Structure 1
Amino acid sequence: MIMGLWQVPFPLVMTFTMLWEGLEISVPGFGDEEINGNRLTDIGVAWLGWAAFAGMSAAVTMQPFPFGFRGSDYTRDRHYGSSSWEHWRRDWF
């Protein structure tokens, strides 16, 4: 949810959640009793929560949705550049 509000691009969110689940698998006593179906559910809920909060944050701040597949999603201009209605409309539609 926090990464969604901060508009962290999706490839980074995907990487962090996969690494977290990998950590749970590899550390003894940390996720030993968890089944793989629950791990997949954790990842899915994390990604859906990110998408919901990233969408709300993008709409409120008039920034494009942070898909993360364009280089501009990682630049300073995305966060400090123009946030006019025209730019928002151009990026979303």
Structure 2
Amino acid sequence: MKTIVTFIRPWNRYNRGEIAGFDPATAAGLIGIHAVPYRPAEATPAAIPAAAPAPAPTAPEPAQSFETAMAALETPAETAPKAAAGADLPVQGRRK
């Protein structure tokens, strides 16, 4: 029979928040230091609140055309001033 624990600190290959089952001796050594006993959430019908009605779906906005998107990307590059030929290279890449 395994004892299920939830990790609160990293241990071995397990991270915080993970759930695993161990033999009772190993689980007893982990509980209080690296893990806590597993407590499943109660899923009784009385514990589940009534769901609110879903909102009506709205129409998505139309996507931008490819030409418009490309024009927006290319415009700043065309208006930028031309720099010196080697000014954009890092210092290590320049020839002496």
TM-score norm. by structure 1 comes to 0.20
Q: Which has the higher contact order (CA 8 A, sep 6+)?
A: 1
Higher strand share: 2
TM-score norm. by structure 2 comes to 0.19
